[in-house]
Structure 1
Amino acid sequence: MTSNYEVRLLLDPDAVLSFKLELADTVLSTFHVASTTKMNVQFLDTCSKDIYTAGWSTRIRKAENDDLELTYKKRYATLPVHSGRWAIWVFECPSLTPTARGHAHYAYRYIKLS
């Protein structure tokens, strides 16, 4: 089994995007990005965000040259990891798609400590 990892960074758009709102050449070369894929994502929930409040994330994704994908994720909070003035909350997010593929996703929330 091959594991896939996804890392999400909060970056300054002025520093990483070109005037066309595409990744800047320096970002592409630094992270060895061969190409990008455009994706349309629609989240499914009630107006009062009942599904999200219950810890679930439901969405429909459509990537270039790919079929629609319906994804469900359940988030489980774990213990925070403290690093100096920052706390990192790690959430494990098992994901199931209509094809019954199982994935483990982790989301990270950084909280500045005062």
Structure 2
Amino acid sequence: MVIGMSPDFPDARFQGDAGQLVFAQCGVSVMELNAELEARNLALPTSGASNGQTIGGAISTGTHGSAHAVGAMQDFIAGLHMVAEGGRHYWIERASQPVVGQPFYELLGAELK
């Protein structure tokens, strides 16, 4: 897991704080992520009750917290690195909310989608 991003990686149009971007593997548990965030005085805006889920499981099943107006965990995913059939790599993010630039997804060996 990496918290924060080199100034070379965010897209010039990125509106957020690159120091608060998190690049985590899907098998990391919400508990592990929360511990790393807490050590940096950060926190997830919402998460499930037990923290026992993995990040991949929580976002794929719609895990949510009790804060009605905040949104669910998947609402805070800015991009995904996917490995597809044949070992092809893709970086997937919203075209309307770019997060990373070409140097980042090329470092991953990924194609932007």
Normalization by structure 1: what TM-score? 0.28
Q: Which has the higher helix share?
A: 2
Larger Rg: 1
Higher relative contact order, chain-length normalized (CA < 8 Å, sep 6+)? 2
Normalization by structure 2: what TM-score? 0.28
